[in-house]
Amino acid sequence: MTIELADVSVTSPGRNFVTLKIVTSDGVVGWGDATLNGRELSVASYLRDHVASTLIGRDEDRIEDTWQYLYRGPYWRRGPVTMAAIAAVDMALWDIKAKKAGVPLYQLLGGASRDGIRAYCHASGTDYAALRDAITGYVEQGFTAVRVQTGVPGLGQIYGVASNAPGARYDYEPAKRAADGGAATAPVEEVWDTAKYRAHMPGVFESIRHDFGAELRILHDGHHRLSPIEAAGFAKDIEPYRLFWLEDCTPGEDQSALRLVRQHSTTPLAIGEVFNTVYDYQTLITERLIDFVRSAVTHTGGITAMRKLLDFAAIYGIRSGIHGPTDISPVGMAAALHLDLAIHNFGIQEYMPHSATTLDVFRTSYTFDRGFLHPGETPGLGVELDEEAAASFAYTAAYLPVNRLTDGTVHDW
């Protein structure tokens, strides 16, 4: 059989998603996620204008060949737009292959290596009391691992911290529309001060250990804001609180910067959510400068490329921590869960539950129970887009924030 249709949809059930639908000549439908937060239409165009027509008539079973055709074929390679487009095609073809075989995708990846997938959630609060309430709520739901982000005295709204309004901490969305809910015309701007952050955070971790004990897995995201020497000092300062990981302590593209951090602390390090190929990790993995790979399946060329990246990491004892915020669609989330279940070097899975509005449009089969996820037993990825429901949510521009230092300098975020 061959590919008969490749169609791209951009829908916004609560937030924007780019979804690729591939249909075979015998009517099997596969879905792929191509969502790139704040740059959605560029990937939709890449797929519609440059990829879709090249797929028609191809053998849908030749997944590796199609991946190489899309990566090596156009000459221009890598980058988040290209790799998200390739990821969507790859996911859809794996979805089709598993549906044709009548098995959940993880069975084609070697079968289950564990019974459930340990998930971590996002707890935040503008102050410690609100953060403690959020952590308590998640622990009561059964989470054994919590990413903690909190406001810093003297700074306003910062990335990763929801307001203290009831329910808000469970619906945190960093990509902002305009204040009236319409299309954003520019990102909001936030203000950052590393000295204030470094002075505040060790006390927060001390309080969490005091209030929640020694066993809770504590994760924290530095979001690329520290210089290498600042990150080395910070990782050393928080060593007594034994974090599960410190994420993105420095801007990710400067791989050798992590050498300095490694020389000064044993705080485990995670990085990679802005990476899109295995080459972004070459130094980090071969020199064992990180402990966890943070890439999203959606931004790293799909299941085919992510499996190779994680197998490469496994040789060096480095584990997975696949990116899973709400800007990964339920299709991309399902792809992560099938990989998580199958690989040996699984570490942990990020889990920000999608809103009820999103889940009315994407029908999922994966489950969450007492801190653990499972992709389910539905053949394929186990997610279907309700195209009729999706059509009623038009694309609405929303952007991730920009970060500036207190003197106005644009800063990493």
Q: What does DSSP assign to residue 399? A: B
The 44-83 contact track toward Mg ion, x by CB under 5 A, reads ----------------------------------------
Contacts of 162 (CB under 8 A, 6+ apart): 124, 125, 168, 169, 170, 171, 172
Our answer to whether residue 223 is catalytic in this structure is yes
Indicate the SS3 state at residue 284: helix
Q: Which stretch binds Mg ion (CB under 5 A): 8-16, 126-134, 147-155, 220-228?
A: 220-228
Catalytic residue chosen out of the listed positions 159, 197, 351, 366 = 159
Q: What does DSSP assign to residue 402? A: E
For the bound state, the minimum distance from the C-beta of residue 243 to Mg ion, rounded and expressed in Å, comes to 14
Torsion of CA 136, 138, 140, 145, to 10 degrees: -100
Nearer Cβ to Mg ion, position 23 or 400? Answer: 400
For the bound state, the minimum distance from the C-beta of residue 223 to Mg ion, rounded and expressed in Å, comes to 6
Contacts of 364 (CB under 8 A, 6+ apart): 330, 333, 334, 376, 382, 383
Q: Which stretch binds Mg ion (CB under 5 A): 9-17, 218-226, 364-372, 382-390?
A: 218-226
Indicate the SS3 state at residue 299: helix
Q: Computed from CA positions of residues 389, 393, 394, 396, in that sequence, does the dihedral angle turn out positive or negative?
A: negative
For the bound state, the minimum distance from the C-beta of residue 341 to Mg ion, rounded and expressed in Å, comes to 22
Binding-site size, Mg ion (CB under 5 A): 2
Helix then strand then coil, % of the chain, to nearest 5: 40, 20, 40
> Which residue is closest to Mg ion by CB?
221
Angle formed at CA 142 by CA 174 and CA 341, multiple of 5 degrees = 80
Nearer Cβ to Mg ion, position 241 or 413? Answer: 413
Q: Which two tokens stand for residue 263?
A: 């020389």
Our answer to whether residue 374 is catalytic in this structure is no
Q: Which stretch binds Mg ion (CB under 5 A): 83-91, 122-130, 195-203, 221-229?
A: 221-229
Q: Kindly tell me which residue out of 60, 90, 95, 221 binds Mg ion, with binding defined by CB under 5 A.
A: 221
Catalytic residue chosen out of the listed positions 223, 299, 338, 354 = 223
Q: Which stretch binds Mg ion (CB under 5 A): 61-69, 122-130, 272-280, 297-305?
A: 272-280
Instruction: Please give the positions annotated as active site.
Output: 159, 223
Binding residues (CB under 5 A) for Mg ion: these are 221, 273
